[in-house]
Amino acid sequence: MTTLSNCPCCNGSSFEPYISCKDYTVSQETFQIVSCKTCSFKFTNPRPAEDKIGDYYKSESYISHSNTSQGLISKLYKAVRNYTLKGKLKLISKHSQKGNLLDYGCGIGMFLSVARSSTWNAFGIEPDPGARDFATKENKITRVYPDVKTANENLADVQFNCITLWHVLEHVMDLNETLTWFNKKLNSGGALIIAVPNYTSFDAQTYKEFWAAYDVPRHLYHFDQRTMVELVQKAGFKHIESLPMKFDSFYVSMLSEKYKTGSISYPKAFLTGLRSNLKAKEAKDYSSVIYVFKKP
């Protein structure tokens, strides 16, 4: 295990316990999330060491990397994914000129595949070998690299118009280094688009330690709107707008119901998901938020 002694957001060194959560999908181990006493940034601490974190991704039910459909949740997930893929494509086209697109943590390459058919030049980074293999062979994304180091070696002269992270930044080990690298690799005026769960949402407050989007220890950071903007602005970006991901409250509530009670009550999960979206209208504290940043 690795213990961070400095806050990734403000560099402060004084933390207090925030919540303890169980890893429901893989290890069944319990992990602590701490809150920085200076800036209130939340992060999983201690966390598995870099050479051990891969063990926590080995699960049949970790479906974001697989394309096999089993059960109602997986079927719903896929239907919603196809719908949201179109929304994501619309969003990048609104904020960026077409050109080189990097999807950081591209998984099996679904988003890149959709973007490429709309004439974007698709590049990906994906550490999981199985997902990377699927992206290359099935989705024909030829430029997918396992990490920043390999991407640098292969893409020394390539700059991007747009970099996207769809539920990925919360998994990234070297948070500040990675954000700085995005700044270096983006063209001036380029867009950085980051979607992450939001622990201040109504569904998070309802399910507490059972909230599925804490997803410890795979989720290393737990963002709210203020800390996200502070963190990314620190790396030289300007915050443009934030948008909701309204399907996530339903999906996350279904999983959270399962963790809390052992089985899913669909009406209950649906109601919590719906209430989460309705309550978020004013403060925009949706279950998941898409942040749009630009490099000045």
Applying CB under 5 A, which residues contact Zn ion? 7, 9-10, 12, 36, 38-39, 41
Q: Whole-number minimum distance, CB 217 to Zn ion, in Å? A: 20
Task: Measure Cα distances from 117 to 99, 113, 144, 158 in Å.
Answer: 13, 6, 17, 20
Q: Whole-number minimum distance, CB 170 to Zn ion, in Å? A: 16
Residue number with CB closer to Zn ion (36 or 155): 36
Q: Whole-number minimum distance, CB 173 to Zn ion, in Å? A: 18
Instruction: Give the CB-side neighbour count of residue 260, counting CA atoms within 13 A.
Output: 19
Q: Whole-number minimum distance, CB 13 to Zn ion, in Å? A: 9
How far apart are alpha carbons 150 and 156 in whole angstroms? 10
Q: Measured at the alpha carbon of residue 48, what is the angle toward residues 47 and 50, in degrees to the nearest 5?
A: 115
Contact call for residues 101 and 162 (beta carbons, < 8 A): yes
Sign of dihedral through CA atoms 123, 287, 91, 226? negative
Q: Give CA 148 to chain center in angstroms.
A: 17
Strand arrangement, sheet containing 221-222: 15-22, 30-36, 42-44, 221-222
Q: Whole-number minimum distance, CB 261 to Zn ion, in Å? A: 35
Contact call for residues 293 and 251 (beta carbons, < 8 A): no
Residue number with CB closer to Zn ion (9 or 110): 9
Residue number with CB closer to Zn ion (10 or 73): 10
Residue number with CB closer to Zn ion (13 or 20): 13
How far apart are alpha carbons 15 and 25 in whole angstroms? 27
Residue number with CB closer to Zn ion (12 or 236): 12
Residue number with CB closer to Zn ion (42 or 132): 42
Residue number with CB closer to Zn ion (41 or 247): 41
Contact call for residues 143 and 135 (beta carbons, < 8 A): no
Q: Whole-number minimum distance, CB 4 to Zn ion, in Å? A: 11
Unique residue bearing structure tokens 């697989």:
66
Q: Whole-number minimum distance, CB 2 to Zn ion, in Å? A: 18
Unique residue bearing structure tokens 């997918």:
144
